[in-house]
């Protein structure tokens, strides 16, 4: 990984950047989403930056966000804004923002957040990571801008720590989803997961980070599970942010796992990041998106922004591959996912798969939400039992003939 | 030969979404391809209710209306329907997901057999107007290049004529009608009205008389001049957005921020009215953006949100309250500036309006 940046690009780039804060005074913060703070922290610290990590999303954060943003804007924005405010209160002066213009409202967020915060009287510099057109080069430039780090080795170390941690976290989470519904002693899987989050966070060597995934797999294999249990599988689909942040989705994965359902999520931060940053010629295997486009074709002929086509593609894939149900989650007023929701009704009927849509907003009460999930879980389980007995009968019929 | 075959062809155009901005173009284009056009009826409450049945309730009003219009066309026995997907109108200037995915929604919510003509306009990917038109023609089974090219130019011609008429001050509906009939009329002069406002709204909200509650007419009756997106050019709109130090993010932004920005900067308007449909994603952002600049310039702004249940009475009350406020403000301003000696300024509203009312009654 090279950190060479040609002068011309640099000039072009820093024109849009505020240079009033010198690199050594910068205190950097970024919005919270799931556990992306762990890898990003490793990366920023390797580059020698000072950072502030605002508290994880919570009711308090949401309230703060709602208070300072307009009605009708989407939930992710409100929480991001709250994260910024909290970080600024803790002394941050450089805010990182990840945006993907062209996909949705997200691209419009930055300016709005900037304006709101300025109006509230904060002084800061916002560095935008344009994840859409950027790929590796611009990302490096943005990092260079905030840290002024010119040592290529540090970049190498930072990025390899960061990437490996991303993969390790996602691996741990996948194993958690698999283990939780099958564990014999309730809580084992989660304990193991939390333990590993800690270890991941505290790993500081490249070799250590590279070994993480293997060690995690080994450790999870030690948890006692009931291998013969009937565990229905449910796909969790929907908008990126609500899928990845446990506060926003009210830890739906836990609720499902504890009621004996294996959750499979199709969107992973590590995979997404790889897709964005890796030059396309290195991607030999079909990417998740390409797979979705292929699967969704019967229902959807074009991508319409956001994660809509992924949602549809995965739902169809789920139905074709014996997955027992789909839960579709979206923030209130989310544009692409409302389109998905309209289409999913038909997918559910034609592909014969139960689909539950959950719309999340500030007022979503946890209880109402849980009753709906419970009812859905019952439905999925019943369906699974029915399907199994049907299959058995079919087999018997064959034998009898 | 080709033309004669095509004479039998019929295409249904829903009177919703892109109809309001582009119908004259579509008309010229399809007519010269030799295709008969069937339009859906005007939006009614019944039609909206019909459309709402097919989609989930969080869908925004204009899309519900669109679905209603498609159903209306199918009920009329028309089984080829034009449902374009307008993805982007410039490099990375995208439309709202629901407009991008209109064909996807229609395909999946209406379970009836019919043929959908679904061309894509996506300038980010290099699909411009020309490609859009060729795709349309191909889907209709027309492959004659020359014919299609000439159809495009007659579409353009008709569209330009419509724009000219609309710019001269002819109301949207009339301008469309005249353009389609081949008439060319221009409005000569119009009376100067005491108050003027600019309306920022999507064409499909503003010019649909049911959705907009006929706001243009109402304002006219209240003696308020309303400027709309039809009064300015694209370049003006874009430049004004830049002048406010903003960027065009949405494809349909020119009708909203562009229009509001232009009049805010260049004409002395007394107020801004934002008209948006309930549940619209982009609108909330654009309205907020303009609100910010309006506040800085101390221009009053009214935000009207409409959904299928919005009542006429409440709507009118809010509109009246707003125009009254504008009037009071203006009068105060006039009183404050040095009053020329020979001009009498009416102190209360009645003094201005009464003569007119009298003539009307007689
Ligand atoms: S995908 Fe949905 S939640 Fe995300 S920015 Fe777009 S509208 Fe908002
Ligand atoms: S721009 Fe707003 S009103 Fe128009 S389709 Fe999109 S969400 Fe609906």
| Contacts for A115-122: CB closer than 8 Å, 24+ residues apart | A115/B292, A116/A68, A116/A69, A116/A81, A117/A81, A117/A84, A117/A85, A117/A88, A120/A68, A120/A85, A122/A85, A122/A88
Distance A188 CA to ligand 1 centre (A): 35
Residues in chain A whose Cβ is within 8 Å of chain B: 70-74, 101-102, 104-105, 107-108, 111-112, 115, 299-302, 304-306, 308, 332-336, 338-339, 341-343, 345-347, 357, 359
Where a domain ends, among A215, A230, A245? A230
| Same domain membership, residue A115 and residue A208 | no
Helix axes A7-15, A135-147, angle to 10 degrees: 70
Q: Looking at residue B293, what is its pLDDT?
A: 92
What is the sign of the dihedral through the CA atoms of A43, A46, A47 and A53?
A: positive
- Give the CA-trace dihedral at B206, B207, B213, B219, to 10 degrees: 80
> Which range marks the domain in which residue A55 is found?
7-148
Quote the mean pLDDT of chain B.
87
CB-CB contact of B308 with B279 (8 Å): no
How many structural domains does chain A have? 3
Q: Which residues lie below 8 Å from residue B342, measured CB to CB, with a gap of 6+?
A: none
The pLDDT assigned to A64 comes to: 93
Query: If DSSP codes are grouped into helix, strand and coil, which group holds residue A234?
Result: strand
What is the Cα–Cα distance from A245 to A262, expressed in whole angstroms?
18
Which residues contact residue B256 at a Cβ distance below 8 angstroms, ignoring those fewer than 6 apart?
B200, B201, B202, B229, B274, B283, B286, B287, B290
pLDDT band at A132 (very low <50, low <70, confident <90, very high): low
Q: Report which of residues B169 and B356 the model is more confident about.
A: B169
Alpha-carbon distance A355 to B22, whole Å? 38
Q: How confident is the model at residue B304 (pLDDT cuts 50, 70, 90)?
A: very high
One domain, residues A343 and A396:
yes
Length of chain A, in residues: 401
B53-107, pLDDT tens digit by residue?
Answer: 999 988 999 999 999 999 999 999 998 999 999 998 888 788 899 999 999 999 9
The answer to whether the beta carbons of residues B136 and B150 sit under 8 Å apart is no
Q: ipTM of the predicted structure?
A: 0.86
For B325, how many CA atoms within 13 A lie in the half-sphere containing its CB?
A: 13
Q: Is B253 in the pocket of ligand 2 (CB under 6 A)?
A: no
3-state secondary structure of A386: helix
Q: Are B168 and B186 in contact (CB under 8 A)?
A: yes
- For the ranges B274-283, B320-329, B344-353, the lowest mean pLDDT is seen at B344-353
Judged against a pLDDT cut of 90, whether residue B324 lies above it is answered with yes
CATH assignment at residue A38: 3.40.50
Question: If we measure between CA atoms, which residue out of B83, B113, B117, B78 comes closest to residue B98?
Answer: B83
Cα(B59) to centroid(ligand 2), Å: 9
Q: Where does the pLDDT of residue B332 fall: very low under 50, low under 70, confident under 90, or very high at 90 and above?
A: confident
Neighbour-count burial for B248-261, b at 16+ CB within 10 Å, e otherwise: bbbbbbbbbbbbbb
The Cα B127–Cα B120 span in angstroms is 7
CA atoms within 13 A on the CB side of A366: 8
Q: Is A335 in the pocket of ligand 1 (CB under 6 A)?
A: yes
Q: Where are the beta strands (DSSP E) in A143-280?
A: 233-238, 262-265
d(CA A129, CA A136): 11
* pLDDT of A7 strictly over 90: no
The HSE-up count of residue A354 (CA atoms within 13 Å, CB side) is: 17
Alpha helical stretches, state H, chain B: 2-6, 19-33, 45-52, 61-75, 97-100, 102-109, 129-139, 145-167, 172-181, 203-206, 215-221, 234-243, 259-266, 281-297, 312-336, 349-361
Which of A80, A239, A340 is the pocket-test mutation for ligand 1 (most atoms within 8 Å of CB)?
A: A239
**pLDDT, tens digit (0-9, with 9 covering 90-100), for A67-92:** 998 877 888 889 999 999 999 999 99
Q: What is the CATH number of the domain that holds A369?
A: 3.40.50.11900
Averaged pLDDT, B205-211:
94
| Together in a domain, A236 and A222 | no
**Block residue for tokens 């966070």:** A201
A21: which residues sit within 8 A by CB, 6+ positions away?
Answer: A93, A94, A125
Residue A1 lies in a domain: no
- Give the per-residue pLDDT at B33: 93
- Cα B13 from Cα B20, distance rounded (Å): 11
How does residue B348 score in pLDDT terms, banded at 50, 70 and 90?
low
Instruction: Give the tens place of pLDDT for each residue, A183-207.
Output: 999 999 999 999 999 999 999 999 9
d(CA A3, CA B349): 70
Residue B358 has pLDDT above 50, yes or no: no
**Considering chain A, what is the average pLDDT of its residues?**
84
- What DSSP line would sit under A103-135, residue for residue? TSTHHHHHHHHHHHHHHTT---EEEEEETTT-H
A261 vs A257: CA distance, rounded Å: 5
pLDDT band at A2 (very low <50, low <70, confident <90, very high): very low
What is the distance between the alpha carbons of residues A115 and B245, in angstroms, rounded to a whole number? 12
pLDDT at B343: 55
Whether A341 maps to a domain, the answer reads: yes
Q: In terms of domains, do A285 and A351 share one?
A: yes
What value does the mean pLDDT take over residues A93-121?
79
DSSP code string of A30-66: ----TTTHHHHHHHHHHTT-EE--PPPP-HHHHHHHH
pLDDT at B2 over 50: no
Specify whether A166 is located in the same domain as A123.
Answer: no
**Residue of A304, A333, A340 to mutate, testing the B interface (most B Cβ within 10 Å of its Cβ):** A304
B251 ligand 2 Cβ < 6 A: no
Rounded to the nearest 10 degrees, the angle between the axes of helix B102-109 and helix B61-75 is 60
Q: Which residues pair with B127 in a beta bridge?
A: B122
| Chain center to CA of A285 | 21
The DSSP symbol for A183 reads B
Task: Identify the residue with better confidence: B345 or A354.
Answer: A354
Degrees to nearest 5, angle at CA A59 with A308 and A33: 45
DSSP letter (8 states) at residue B22: H
Confidence of residue B248 (pLDDT cuts 50, 70, 90): confident
Span B212-246, pLDDT tens digits: 999 999 999 999 999 999 999 989 999 999 998 88
The Cα-based distances of B300 to A373, B136, B274, B284, B321 in angstroms read: 47, 44, 11, 17, 12
Cα(A89)–Cα(A29) distance, rounded to whole angstroms?
Answer: 11
Q: Where are the domains of chain B?
A: 4-180, 195-337
Whether residues A305 and B97 touch (CB distance < 8 A) is answered with yes
pLDDT digits (tens, 9 = 90+) for A265-312: 888 888 877 777 766 666 667 778 888 999 999 999 998 888 899 999
Q: Does domain B195-337 have CATH number 3.40.50.300?
A: no
- Hey, which residues does B85 pair with through a beta bridge? B120
Q: Shortest Cα distance from B58 to chain A (angstroms)? A: 7
| Same domain, yes or no: A201 and A57 | no
Instruction: Look at A33-37, B13-17, B184-188 and tell me which has the smallest mean pLDDT.
Output: B184-188
Same domain for A212 and A308? no
Cβ(B152)–Cβ(B130) below 8 Å: yes
What is the 8-class DSSP label of residue A305? S
Same domain, A400 and A333: yes
Would the CB of B60 count as within 6 Å of ligand 2?
Answer: yes
pLDDT at A328 over 80: yes
Q: What are the φ and ψ backbone dihedral angles of A253, each rounded to 5 degrees?
A: -65, -35
pLDDT tens-digit readout, B257-295: 999 999 999 877 999 999 998 878 888 889 988 998 999
Cβ–Cβ gap A342/B118 under 8 Å: no
Please tell me the predicted confidence (pLDDT) of residue A17: 53
On whether residue A129 sits in a domain, the answer given is: yes
Residues 6+ apart with CB under 8 A from A401: none
Q: Is residue A156 part of a domain?
A: no
- Residue A241 forms part of a structural domain: yes
Kindly state whether residues A130 and A26 are assigned to the same domain: yes
Q: Same structural domain for residues A347 and A361?
A: yes
Is the predicted pLDDT of residue B354 greater than 50, yes or no? no
- Region B190-210 average pLDDT: 91
- Answer whether residue A4 shows pLDDT above 50: no
The pLDDT of residue B10 is above 70: yes
- Mean pLDDT for the stretch of residues B296-309: 91
Residue of B nearest to A305 (CA): B97
Q: Is the pLDDT of residue A163 over 70?
A: yes
Please tell me which residue, B162 or A9, carries the higher pLDDT value.
B162
DSSP A280: G
Confidence of residue A15 (pLDDT cuts 50, 70, 90): very low
Instruction: Tell me, using a 6 A CB cutoff, whether residue A105 lines ligand 1.
Output: yes
Question: Mind telling me how many Å the CA of A343 is from chain B's nearest CA?
Answer: 5
- Structure pTM? 0.88
The reply to whether A267 falls in a domain is: yes
The mean per-residue pLDDT over the stretch B5-28 comes to 87
Asked if residue A333 and residue A254 are part of one domain, the reply reads yes
- A171-206 per-residue burial string, b: 16 or more CB within 10 A, e: under 16: bbbbbbbbbbbbbeeeebbbebbeebbebbbebeeb
Calculate the alpha carbon distances from A100 to A105, A128, A135, A305 in Å: 9, 10, 11, 10
Same domain, A71 and A217: no
């Amino acid at each position: 990984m090279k950190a060479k940046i040609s002068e011309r690009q640099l000039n072009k780039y820093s024109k849009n950047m505020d240079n009033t804060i010198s690199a050594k005074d910068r205190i950097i913060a970024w919005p919270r989403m799931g556990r992306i703070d762990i890898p990003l922290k490793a990366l920023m610290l390797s580059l020698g930056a000072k950072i502030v990590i605002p508290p994880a999303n919570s009711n308090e954060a949401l309230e703060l966000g709602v208070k300072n943003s307009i009605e009708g804007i989407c939930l992710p924005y409100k929480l991001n804004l709250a994260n910024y405010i909290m970080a600024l209160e803790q002394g941050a002066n450089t805010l990182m923002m990840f945006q993907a213009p062209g996909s949705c409202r997200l691209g419009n967020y930055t300016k709005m957040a900037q304006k709101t915060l300025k109006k509230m009287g904060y002084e800061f510099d916002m560095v935008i990571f344009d994840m859409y057109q950027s790929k590796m080069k611009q990302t490096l430039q943005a990092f260079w801008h905030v840290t002024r780090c010119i040592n290529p080795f540090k970049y190498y170390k930072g990025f390899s720590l960061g990437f490996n941690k991303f993969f390790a976290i996602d691996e741990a989470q996948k194993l958690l989803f698999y283990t939780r519904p099958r564990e014999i002693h309730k809580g084992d899987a989660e304990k193991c997961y939390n333990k590993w989050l800690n270890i991941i966070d505290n790993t500081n060597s490249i070799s250590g980070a590279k070994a993480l995934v293997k060690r995690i797999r080994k450790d999870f294999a030690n948890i006692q599970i009931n291998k013969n249990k009937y565990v229905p599988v449910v796909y969790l689909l929907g908008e990126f942010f609500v899928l990845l942040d446990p506060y926003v989705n009210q830890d739906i994965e836990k609720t499902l796992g504890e009621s004996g359902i294996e959750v499979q999520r199709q969107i992973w931060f590590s995979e997404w990041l790889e897709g964005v940053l890796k030059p396309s010629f290195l991607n030999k295997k079909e990417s998740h998106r390409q797979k979705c486009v292929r699967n969704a074709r019967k229902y959807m002929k074009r991508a319409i922004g956001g994660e809509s086509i992924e949602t549809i593609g995965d739902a169809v894939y789920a139905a074709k591959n014996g997955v027992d149900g789909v839960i579709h989650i979206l923030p209130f007023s989310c544009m692409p996912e409302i389109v998905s929701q309209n289409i999913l009704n038909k997918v559910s009927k034609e592909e014969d798969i139960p689909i539950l849509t959950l719309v999340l907003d500030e007022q979503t009460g946890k209880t109402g939400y849980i009753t709906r999930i419970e009812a859905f879980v019952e439905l999925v389980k019943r369906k699974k039992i029915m399907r199994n007995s049907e299959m058995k009968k079919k087999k018997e019929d064959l034998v009898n003939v | 030969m080709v033309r004669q075959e095509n004479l039998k062809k019929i295409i249904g155009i829903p009177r919703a979404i892109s109809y309001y901005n582009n119908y004259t173009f579509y008309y010229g284009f399809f007519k010269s391809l030799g295709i008969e056009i069937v339009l859906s009826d005007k939006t009614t409450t019944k039609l909206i209710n019909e459309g709402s049945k097919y989609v989930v309730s969080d869908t925004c009003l204009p899309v519900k209306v669109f679905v209603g219009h498609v159903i209306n066309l199918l009920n009329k026995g028309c089984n080829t329907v034009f449902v374009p997907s307008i993805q982007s109108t410039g490099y990375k200037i995208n439309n709202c997901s629901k407009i991008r995915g209109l064909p996807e929604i229609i395909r999946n919510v209406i379970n009836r057999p019919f043929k959908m003509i679904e061309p894509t306009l996506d300038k980010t990917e290099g699909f411009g107007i020309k490609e859009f038109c060729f795709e349309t023609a191909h889907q209709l089974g027309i492959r004659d290049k020359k014919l299609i090219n000439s159809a495009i130019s007659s579409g353009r011609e008709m569209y330009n004529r419509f724009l000219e008429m609309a710019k001269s001050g002819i109301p949207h509906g009339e301008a469309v009608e005249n353009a389609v009939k081949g008439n060319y009329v221009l409005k000569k002069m119009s009376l100067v009205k005491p108050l003027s406002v600019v309306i920022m709204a999507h064409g499909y909200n503003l010019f649909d008389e049911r959705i907009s509650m006929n706001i243009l007419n109402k304002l006219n009756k209240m003696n308020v001049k309303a400027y709309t997106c039809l009064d300015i050019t694209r370049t003006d709109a874009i430049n004004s957005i830049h002048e406010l130090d903003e960027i065009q993010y949405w494809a349909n932004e020119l009708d909203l921020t562009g229009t509001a920005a232009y009049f805010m900067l260049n004409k002395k308007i007394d107020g801004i009215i934002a008209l948006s449909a309930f549940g619209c994603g982009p609108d909330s952002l654009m309205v907020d953006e303009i609100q910010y600049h309006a506040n800085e310039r101390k221009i009053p702004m009214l935000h009207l949100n409409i959904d299928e249940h919005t009542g006429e009475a409440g709507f009118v009350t809010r509109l009246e309250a707003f125009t009254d406020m504008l009037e009071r403000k203006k009068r105060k301003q006039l009183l404050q500036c040095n009053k020329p000696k020979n001009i009498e300024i009416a102190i209360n509203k009645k003094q201005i309006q009464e003569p007119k009312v009298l003539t009307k009654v007689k």
